[in-house]
């Protein structure tokens, strides 16, 4: 159904770097840039990118090393803890918009929108699972439950090594929410109920269609 999620080419994989190292979709970085500029200004954005080791912005044509992408998300939370959830959410919504505009064929979108939500939701979930490496990187994504629909992401590289009392994955939440609200039910709410940063075995996302 999807050409590929998060801006990656359809033949990409998380381990496709000939020089070694896990890969992730470029929108993990690219969608952060305009949101950071809007909320923090270009100087802070450049500082965060430098701290994360992002020397040049990806061109969006293929998968990128997951390390700098994860480091950018973590630098944001470290430097701007209060603003980080909102910034990550807006970047996730932008990633969802990119997927809708460029990676899901229009006929497939039309089909999902005309199907009852109870039928469209598992179809979309399976499509997300097939292309999960574009936002999961070296983590392990799974559909863990059907009612409510629940995704898990074990060893999530975007929060790997972090410790928190609350879930941190606002970017992932927003990507899933944008796709389900657009294609399945406009009342969908996605909530991360457990996070690897809290010591959970996997980040856990509940998708409630309401």
pLDDT tens digits for 139-168? 999 999 999 999 999 999 999 999 999 999
**How confident is the model at residue 1, as a pLDDT?**
55
Average pLDDT in the 51-74 region?
96
Whole-number Å distance between alpha carbons of 175 and 94: 8
Mean pLDDT of the chain: 92
**How confident is the model at residue 134, as a pLDDT?**
86
Domain span at residue 48 reads 5-208
Average pLDDT in the 118-131 region?
96
**How confident is the model at residue 10, as a pLDDT?**
43
- Angle subtended by helix axes 66-79 and 32-40, to nearest 10: 20
- Where residue 133 falls among pLDDT bands split at 50, 70, 90? confident
| Cβ 204 vs Cβ 151: under 8 Å | yes
Whole-number Å distance between alpha carbons of 9 and 31: 17
Average pLDDT in the 116-123 region?
98
| CATH at residue 56 | 3.90.1520.10
Could you give the percent of the chain with pLDDT greater than 70?
Answer: 90
Whole-number Å distance between alpha carbons of 119 and 111: 11
In the chain, the number of structural domains is: 1
* pLDDT over threshold 60, residue 180: yes
């Amino acid at each position: 159904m999807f050409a590929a999620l998060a801006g990656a080419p359809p033949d990409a994989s998380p381990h496709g770097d000939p020089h070694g190292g896990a890969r992730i979709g470029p929108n993990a970085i690219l969608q952060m840039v305009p949101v950071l500029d809007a909320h923090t200004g270009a100087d802070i954005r450049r500082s965060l990118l430098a701290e994360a080791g992002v020397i040049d912005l990806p061109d969006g044509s293929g998968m990128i090393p997951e390390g700098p992408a994860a480091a950018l998300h973590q630098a944001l939370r470290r430097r701007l803890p209060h603003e980080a959830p909102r910034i990550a959410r807006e970047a996730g919504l932008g990633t969802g918009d990119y997927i809708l505009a460029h990676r899901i064929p229009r006929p497939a979108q039309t089909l999902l929108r005309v199907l009852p939500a109870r039928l469209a939701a598992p179809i979309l979930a399976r499509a997300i699972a097939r292309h999960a490496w574009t936002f999961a990187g070296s983590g392990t994504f799974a559909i863990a439950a059907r009612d409510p629909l629940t995704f898990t992401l074990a060893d999530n590289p975007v929060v790997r090594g972090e410790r928190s009392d609350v879930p941190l994955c606002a970017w992932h939440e927003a990507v899933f929410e944008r796709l389900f609200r657009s294609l399945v039910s406009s009342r969908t709410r996605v909530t991360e109920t457990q996070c690897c940063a809290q010591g959970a075995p996997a980040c856990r996302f509940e998708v409630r269609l309401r």
